[in-house]
Amino acid sequence: MAVAHASHTAESEPFALKAEYTFERFIKGDGNLLACAACQAVADSPGQAYNPLFLYGKVGLGKTHLLHAIGNEVLRTQPWMRVIYITSERFAIELIHAIRQNRMERFRRRYRTVDILLIDDVHFFKDKEGTQEELFHTFNELYEKGRQIVLSSDRPPEELSHLQERLVSRFRWGLVADIQPPNYETRLAILRAKAKEMGLTLGDDVLELIAQRITSSVRALEGALIRAAAYADLQGQIPRPELLEEVLPQEPSTEPALDIETIKEEVARRYEVSVSDLEGSSRERRVAQARHIAIYLARELTNSSFPAIGQAFGRRDHSTVMHAYRKVKELLKAPLFCSEIEELKEALRARAEARHPH
């Protein structure tokens, strides 16, 4: 198996890349397309595409997966390259070992002669002035040689105020790409892929429930999937949504709660139609457009699935709802229309805030 040569101790033991973390097994969605494409480009042309590449996003969204995927892809296509994947914490520990054992030359030779350096969680360099100093010089030497550097953090470079400014400025030299929490469709795709990997037989109704309830991260989705399967197994029953309701609590939202009824009311008021028009079968242009917008906002601003939205809009088929959603998404390419939708979102958030002040 291809490995990246980093070390757990000063004795330079091999530190393996996780073979299962590949681009093929990374579920792509709207929230990670830029980051994924950038990582693929880096793997295809190390040191030439984006250097450095800085990924940021909350815990459990796939940053580590993408770093390993870069390493795995490079070693698959260019096995002669020397790749190191390491966490910032391990980098700091190795530096301390090297100083104590008078092996700094060996430490620097290891990290400053690699072809690709992948460092995870650089925000953990906080309050480690000596480690930041060493990373600064390592970064400079690798960059001058045209070697690839990829870094990850839980926040963008400009929010790493606890790190040296000269180090943070270098993080901005290349491409900075964020990873957002997955939307409903991506969450459902992740759950289907994970269930298949684990050999779990779960119906779409169960997977849809999990996708609706768990919105924060890929890691949380996987945990919920395991929990649901284990609970059903312990109960000796086939997993069903009603059986899992009590073990899959709704994650707390960071924004005031919005519901479909509120969205329908606001859209109806804004476009001078009635709520019954939105729920009805009228194909009059202004009614149909208002209906499509309301459906789009219901999907974007609530955790409701397409089937649930269809029920709320006159028991429409979920494929009809998906068509309306995609149609509005396409129209958002027009700046004026996009501005109009953003105004509507702000009005809806204001209504929700007024109902549920913090």
CB distance 17 to 71 below 8 Å: yes
**Burial (0-12, 13-18, 19+ Cβ within 10 Å), 293:** buried
Phi and psi of 95, rounded to 5°? -60, -45
Residue 28 has pLDDT above 90, yes or no: no
* pLDDT, position 5: 44
Two tokens at 3? Answer: 């490995």
User: Nearest CA to 324 among 340, 346, 335, 309?
Assistant: 309
Q: Give the pTM.
A: 0.65
- Percentage of the residues of the chain whose pLDDT score is greater than 70: 87
Sheet with 53-56: strands ordered across: 83-87, 116-120, 148-153, 53-56, 175-178
Question: What residue has token string 């030497």?
Answer: 141
Higher pLDDT among residues 281 and 228, named by residue = 281
Cβ neighbours around 146 below 10 Å, total: 11
Residue 249 has pLDDT above 90, yes or no: no
Higher pLDDT among residues 235 and 115, named by residue = 115
- Helix (H) or strand (E) segment spanning residue 136: helix 129-144
Per-residue model confidence as pLDDT tens digits over 115-136? 999 999 998 888 788 889 999 9
- CA 97 – CA 271 distance, rounded (Å): 67
User: In residues, how long is the chain?
Assistant: 358
Two tokens at 205? Answer: 């109704």
Average pLDDT over residues 75-97: 92
* pLDDT, position 238: 66
* pLDDT, position 242: 63
* pLDDT, position 161: 78
CA R_g for the chain:
24
Rounded (10°) angle between helices 204-213 and 184-198? 130
* pLDDT, position 64: 94
Domains along the sequence of the chain with CATH: 33-178 (3.40.50.300), 184-247 (1.10.8.60), 260-355 (1.10.1750.10)
Contacts of 41 (CB under 8 A, 6+ apart): 49, 50
